Structure 1
């Protein structure tokens, strides 16, 4: 085929070979992947009939009987699915039941043991897994016997379902497994593929299981046989029931119950206490005393409570004859039985000596109580349990050490309550709802009551302060307004901080603040003279908390004082003035109430003054005060009449 190129500004034709492609023919590369139901699978090539999946087999096989010649079944299976194998056979498992024999050496009861297993075949990847069901108290590590993987046959090929026939012998890693059955799902699945299996077989009997079944038929179980055989070996190391209970997994209470049910083994149980608190590091500890009727021996076991912190050594005294004199026998010589403890010596409320230790017997179990009644003739009064419980002392209240003045009281308390101190918790309700609530009072310095010597100068008596109490965190601050030519520099007198009462840890709160009160603050006494309008309104709105701001209670106290005085001359109107035209200022009202001898605080007088209507000059009418007192008197009389009638 001809071609051309540009040389020196002109095109030149060249001869070269090109692929001989016929016109109109295209050779596309065939696709090897396709999508079936959302999954990418290999497409079947037109020139190949190879199936992607290796299972199910093309020709089902008949396994109706093991050992016979394998013949092909005429049953045809369905067409292979186009889905990938790991999707089609996801979580589909076939299960076979089998067993193998394990030889047992150095045992007179069995020469071999039957181990039951389960073989699981996973269809998604043709892997096998062998598990062994767990049996209670078998003493064998059971569970997963072989992990899931491809297990090869002795010839090197992998196991397939056709190789696991009922009645066949399967060799895995040199161990022979005998297949005896399959489950219903596996049998149904294989029958749909045309594979028939032989009927299920039963597990062979093990020699040890046969012996146990014969013992169970006579009413003797494993624990009873074990206890009886051990108690007969008293000449070989004194193995006893207490030792077995401490070393075996059977509880002592159940074990003794089994031993008591046997005719040859009768054990009396007593509950005893050893009080050794008189010695150094001594304690009061409970024990159990077991008396074996068959040979008169005793053993003492310790009763350990949960989380007692003691080592788990329950055997305090091994089973042996217990001499009453408390002396240990000489080596090679047995103590005299006549000088040892017997059932008649073990009584409620008595003490026994155990090699220099005194144990107090306070109770026994029901079997022991019944045995003592039948064999020793004990009465119910002699067998009554003795109460040995001691009163539990109440835990002492935690007391914080005396506040040293460094830091805040809450921070100092946190160092005493925990090893790693944390910031004290704040009352967020007060912080959010009373953030802007500040009570302000005008105060001045006063002498401490009963002080032998005055510590205030004339200048200090003329100084005025503003005490601010912050409701959000119960702190207060004192500010001194600057006064010209006073000789005292004003400003901040006390930083905002919580203040406690002298000699205690109790904080000064808003309840302690009212006009006329004297507040001790850091070895100084401040008398509250007045308050701002917000403080008066806040306390009157919450008069259930602030008693001094309750005008009704103040009027009742004033009415009671007027009744005790016998007249209300202090509030009488002047005859020279028209009726109802007499008025009183706050100072005049204060002097009139004091003349009656009424015990009313300044804040209560201010509350009465604020309750009454006032004229332009902020004076209250005497008539309104008298009307209020009359109303309070009538109400008090009505209450008294109701109380008398009731």
Structure 2
């Protein structure tokens, strides 16, 4: 039923549009579907009851082509045609009309059309969108139909709301689209000349510019040579003048804008500031004739036009630049080793240049001779160092640093510590930077000899603290034995003006003896962190440097190597006990061999076999059980995240990125278990995790495992729960003997002796 929008939807207010119609078939008729091609088609009239249908029916029967809505199938697909229309000019006599270029857009998703005109400078007319997007009807009497894809082609004239457009060209997408639809697209046609803009161009060329455009484009040179600087070394000899001396200079030539600055290199205690600027950055003239006047180096010159009075006088730009003085500046071609620069009357000699400058001249100019020239000898000037201030002796109150600070200044200020050292060796995360040693007291009292102490050495400020670990029923309690402070070395004067030397890192090692507050301690052991830290920083700890220790042992064992091997070689296995090797080495090496060096050997060639409590398969079984218990199944999104964040498509991500993505996917696992998973995932040579291995690790479909009994993850998988066997209880004799490499030396020596006898 049809109804009038202005009437209510009630009985009697609707009507049947088929009343009086007796013929319901479609009238067939011939029509031109293309120029010169006729076909029997059914012309569809606009439907009054609904949206307007297409002009022509589909060439394919229903069912052969999937029915996709046009707003989906042709989304964001636009046909673009270039056209023009002629506009009559009434007010311009030289040009009765003008040609206006436009762009016609046909949106395939809904058949709408939009016409826009590109903006032209100083056109004097409103440009931009001439026809807003919408469906455009044919002019009368065909206004029942709309313009469609078949009506727009090169060479066609279309009329939109009384304005006729001539289509001249289209873009590449439009041409390919129409060709695939079976529509032939002719070659582009030329646009006629516009008499109006042609006359305006002729008038613009005849105009003489009031100020010529002599602007030099330096942007390209700046973008190409920015941050590229040529550095030369030179000198200026000013010793001929009174109080003159030899100035050591650095000449910087900036390739971006051809400017030069010169800085003087000042030696320590030279009497000048360390940041002495000889010449500020600017262009350096070759010939200096004096200070230039105002506007002397301007790009344009001015002419004075005289008038009858002062008001009529004015200045105009001289297009011929008569009388302009051209100033010659130093360029990169003028800078050579051995050359002389005239720096406003001062002769600066270039003696050498840096590697970048040499490579620049070698590539651009093909120069290979960069031999530096010697500088003139400079007479050594006697430098009188100020006498060192002698402080009064320490009176016993506070520390030596506090007393010295109060003697230097009247204002009470705390002593200034070594702040860079504090930042370098302060605690970082779980890295405490504290070395802990086990110690025993050496005393004439038997009960004191059995007391156990922990001596902590703080690397950030070289302070030491002592804590006592009391045994049961010993009569002592666990408490702080010595507060954290610097401990002076024994045998020094206490009340002296010089600060005493204190215990430093080179004085502390296993086997060392320390005197703290008149109590004598011997260090008998160290924790694993201290031993590992000293081995990683073996340059600071020579007694933990396995290379130096083995060189020392090799030197002593060389004469008695055969006897040493015969006494210590194991018979049943390839390992030897720590105590046995220690006794033999201490007997051979003497007092110079410390317990710290023996511990380092035992840790380097340890024969203990430590088996992990939870291997990769056990960790995976625990993980899959936890994921099944929490009903987590988001492996596809996790894989998409990994691929998205892998910008370089290397298949790897850092440990931090992988951990963040696992948390983003709400992986229902404890932090301890996540860290253990990341520990067993395969990595590349840079230490990055291979995320495909992690995806297979978490995927239950890939090599499924049986569920395991749930465990206490926070306790059983924590890093400190697995107690490793103390490294060094057993020593690998084969590795130790191989590192000595004395057997090969004996064989070589025997071969040389045999060769001499022959």
- Give the TM-score normalised by structure 1: 0.38
The structure having more radius of gyration, on CA atoms, is 1
